[in-house]
Chain A
């Protein structure tokens, strides 16, 4: 880059812009002609001069104006601003490059007047009309140009004549100081260039006087500019005197320049009124008069149709988002990306840019973004482009190996000697069976605790009462001591340890393998309620014991002198201590607070709100940075970080299960959780920079040395992983190739025409072909109106395959969701889960409309009545309730919970019947109107896991591996379908009851399709190659819920691997695997026209998936 942000011809900027030409642009800045090397397209780059860009106010104003221009959209008479990028610290406007020069050039070199007076007059009027249209468009979008002049009108020479395009919206004004004093005389050269935000020769009187201006100042300047077209140049010092020039022009014609027609002169005279109120109210009005003048003067109607701004497509909206992002407007950028994704939900660049923005704001994790990008390939995105963007994300998350692998390169940066895995036998454990309560069961691996020393050179583990010290470099066990089993902690240098036994705290000298002290419960303390966990300060001078009754004791180490007790919590307490032992951070399981104490005095210096997540009062883990400046606590998988000196907090979302450990180093926080992940968070942004997954099993601890860039993690299965944390890198945003108005409006017209023909077609097959053709137009594959027309046609067509499927919304609940249903119109959904409430959702908006009163136990089953007025729910404790969707009030159900609870339930959509299986494995049919049990269905030999209540048949599935079909009128078991090899977790019937689908669980991962008439198993989705991500694969995990599409041709399943799968029942092929959930999928439901599916998950969300089907017209 050249000094001061100045570019030279031939230079390649940012690796993609080759500078072809440099145009000086008056005093305000420089215009470059560049070629985008990837797009092979020429662009104009407008750059303000650095010296005019020094103050923050100048910069902010420029950015604001550029933002407005970016938002103007595409209009044939406005020079399109494609995007803005900040390069070399200067925002640069990338605009349409127009080759014909400016109107000022055309006036000066007399191109405007070629062909004689009549032709010249026609041309001038044509330019004036287009000029007016361009300004009218800007005004319609709330933008006043304020520097209207021929130099800011570009002339594009086309086959249809010269097209005038207004340019430089606001930019000159944006980089100037306040207007000059009225008595200051401008230099002659300044008459036609912008000075202090205006060009004197064209400025309106109010603008020259520095008064407030509105769009009528542009009307004035427009008239001066048109006047100049009739004078062949300016002869006035200031715009305010141009009116006199008009009068003079009418008296003294200019050779070779057409005279202004009388009507036009009158119009210009009104436009040049010194008082804004005397001018035409709008440029639209001026344009209309001009076209009429054209008709009268030329003798033919004005040949151009009034232009319509082109609807921006996903590409343009994406570019607008990138511009806004670069301009420091992240919220508006997010809205632009959302608009791009609304136009095309699978748009690769918008998915990438929106995902980057959300990721950097901590709104999603690195894995979420990677999954979203992966999913675009199924939606038709170019796999090569997708790989490139995935590589960018991997680089930003610090995984250069993955990035290189995606790009097919040899790793550019070797992982280094610190990367890799080391087998460390943390504990000795022999698998064996044991007897528990009369049952034989496999012994679970023992619990293990682990701590790293400050330098990460040693790890200390405790397991089954043995403390072991490990050399982390080679995995050797250096020494071991027998200690009371339980929690422990070590000093930063690994020399000392403190352990919590059942009734005493023990101090240890690990270096000399000896116990230093045993501290019993202080006198008067309940021995059974103390010492739940212990901590030792990094310097090994202060030991802390957090107790079951909420108190925390602090001792000097090693002499055991007891300091004042810290008493402020209810329930089991946990604690952390800073390196010097000055501060102690504590939390109680039941009081919802986190407290910071002075260890020396026992004084509580801060009380923080520890309710990190609704419904999770208890804190699972906490930590205090070595310097005591940052505190972090985790509850329910969420982490909250306090900057204790700055006072601000952040909530980190990403873990899906209980967080086990937290540690802060440098600007990072590292956490481990029961979701078997280690996550690295940036404290400045609050985002999950990188998620690490080991091979298998739980991770017990992690250690981060941010300075050294090394992350260690200890996995219970005997693994120590090292990862290098590379320097931070920022992935660049991704722009789409910009299109001009003509191209875009041309595509739009093509699609509109095809859609019109499809609507008019009498033959559905023809209509389908036309819509398919329209969908093939680039950028229109998932255009909302086109998609709606496609779906409308789909109601009378057969679905023959899945074109694509994508995530179209996340409904954020509070706790794990177990059930979901949707009404017949697909507008209202209800969900239920562990929170005990039923939530009512607006399917389209994804907003929660209602939350019912909390039930005493988890809601396992929900149904919505067909008319969307009522919701029915069954809770695990046997509560059956009917709810008003309108009010959220309970309006019916059974008066009392069913004694034996509800292991499974199915509710009819009229809200009158409930089929419920109790703990006795008997299925009972309850009449909700009378409260009477109408039928008992007996036959299952174990827990009933799933029920289906159809109008003709009832189906049940049980832990006895059997699917049963029942006659609901008699209660007779019609068929027992056998074939599953483990519990059957889900069952449903096809429309018309011809087929049943069932899903196995645990060791039986299959889905089975049954013929209900014969009881024959028609297909087992399990005889395909077992490749987890291949299209034909069988899920490696149990499918928990499965449902037919309304036509019975396809099925949707949700599994414990957190995915949703779409199946073709005719072939048994898995058509799509949809990632997005962070916890197992517990329920799925398909909308009435199969346009979408909803899935409920343990991660607390309900997701909406759009399903885009291939269609065939029958017959």
Chain B
């Protein structure tokens, strides 16, 4: 595999998918033999972030897009939230790490969703901060004018993760921290030329 990581405690679902028995979180790893289609990448981080925020706003909200380095390979970690499909309430949180090379890219990530009573993190933080909707919802940090399917808000700040370690957003962020510290990248993949954004090609896999 291009990326290897410790899978103890995880249940293998298929060749590229694992699940966490206690939390039900999913771990995915996928190698795409096509280049990313993003018009901006690490050479222009503000543009990349803005593009991603706009794209994710259709289905939810990009919480953060941070440059990362894994096994010497530069990449981007994207943390996203979206409504749980076909459910009356609740959100699903995704943390995906993209390692992009000129002609291929690998995407691996963690998916965690709210279970049971939903919205507890948000309502608790709102109460702690004494905020109503006015102060709670913030302009998106990467695209302030953006109105997406889900709003960017004060509770998305990672500073709150320690207060809500069991919340799915905290879990996906914790997974990112762990995987960046422990995962390994195939040196052959690492040696490939880096991805440089070009004009978008039709019918190719998305960078998301």
Q: Which residues of A contact B (CB under 8 A)?
A: 437, 834, 856-858, 875-878, 897, 899-901, 903, 918-920
Contacts and interface: CB of A to CB of B under 8 A. Distances in A.
Given A856-B134, A876-B129, A877-B129, A437 B154 contact: no
B159 A918 contact: yes
A857 B128 CA distance: 10
Interface string B69-91: 00000000000000000000000
22 contacts: A856-B131, A856-B132, A857-B131, A857-B135, A858-B130, A876-B128, A876-B129, A877-B129, A877-B130, A877-B135, A877-B154, A899-B154, A899-B157, A900-B157, A900-B160, A901-B128, A901-B129, A919-B125, A919-B160, A920-B159, A920-B162, A920-B163
B189 to A, nearest CB: 36
Nearest to A857: B130
B160 A877 contact: no
B160 A899 contact: yes
Contacts of B132: 856
B102 to A, nearest CB: 38
B164 to A, nearest CB: 10
Interface in B114-137: 117, 120, 125, 128-132, 134-135
B130 A876 contact: yes
Contacts of A899: 154, 157, 159-160
A858 B128 CA distance: 11
Interface centre among B130, B135, B159 (most CB of A within 10 A): B130
Interface in B126-152: 128-132, 134-135
Contacts of B120: 437
A119 to B, nearest CB: 86
Contacts of A903: 128
A433 B118 CA distance: 24
B163 A919 contact: yes
Contacts of B135: 856-857, 877
Closest 4 CB pairs of A and B: A856-B135, A876-B130, A857-B130, A899-B159
A1051 B130 CA distance: 30
A899 B155 CA distance: 9
Nearest to A859: B130
Contacts of B130: 834, 857-858, 875-877, 901
Nearest to B162: A920
Nearest to A878: B129
Interface centre among A857, A903, A918 (most CB of B within 10 A): A857
A1010 to B, nearest CB: 29
Contacts of B154: 877, 897, 899
Is the contact region of chain A dominated by helix, strand, or loop, or is it mixed? loop
A229 to B, nearest CB: 81
B160 to A, nearest CB: 7
Contacts of A878: 129
A877 B131 CA distance: 7
Contacts of A919: 125, 128, 160, 163
A834 B130 CA distance: 9
Contacts of A856: 131-132, 134-135
Contacts of A858: 130
A121 B109 CA distance: 119
B131 A900 contact: no
Nearest to A860: B130
A856 B130 CA distance: 8
A875 B129 CA distance: 8
A401 B154 CA distance: 57
B120 to A, nearest CB: 7
A895 to B, nearest CB: 13
Contacts of A875: 130
A852 to B, nearest CB: 16
Given A877-B135, A877-B154, A897-B154, 20 more contacts: A437-B120, A856-B131, A856-B134, A856-B135, A858-B130, A876-B128, A876-B130, A876-B131, A877-B130, A877-B131, A899-B159, A900-B157, A900-B160, A900-B163, A901-B128, A901-B130, A903-B128, A918-B159, A919-B128, A920-B159
A437 B160 contact: no
A900 B130 CA distance: 12
Nearest to B135: A856
Nearest to B116: A437
A1070 B197 CA distance: 75
Interface centre among A834, A856, A875 (most CB of B within 10 A): A856
Interface string B152-171: 00100101101100000000
Nearest to A875: B130
Contacts of A857: 129-131, 135
A903 B163 CA distance: 14
A918 B154 CA distance: 14
A899 B132 CA distance: 16
A580 to B, nearest CB: 41
Interface in B97-114: none
Nearest to B157: A899
B162 A437 contact: no
A878 B131 CA distance: 11
Contacts of B157: 899-900
A44 to B, nearest CB: 66
Contacts of B117: 437
A918 B129 CA distance: 10
A1015 B130 CA distance: 35
A919 B129 CA distance: 9
Contacts of A918: 159
Nearest to A876: B130
A834 B132 CA distance: 12
Contacts of A897: 154
Contacts of B129: 857, 876-878, 901
Contacts of A901: 128-130
A878 B157 CA distance: 13
A657 B36 CA distance: 60
A875 B160 CA distance: 18
Contacts of B134: 856
A918 B157 CA distance: 13
A897 to B, nearest CB: 8
A589 to B, nearest CB: 14
Nearest to B134: A856
A857 B159 CA distance: 19
Interface in B47-81: none
A857 B127 CA distance: 10
B126 to A, nearest CB: 9
A406 to B, nearest CB: 44
A175 to B, nearest CB: 65
B124 to A, nearest CB: 9
B140 to A, nearest CB: 14
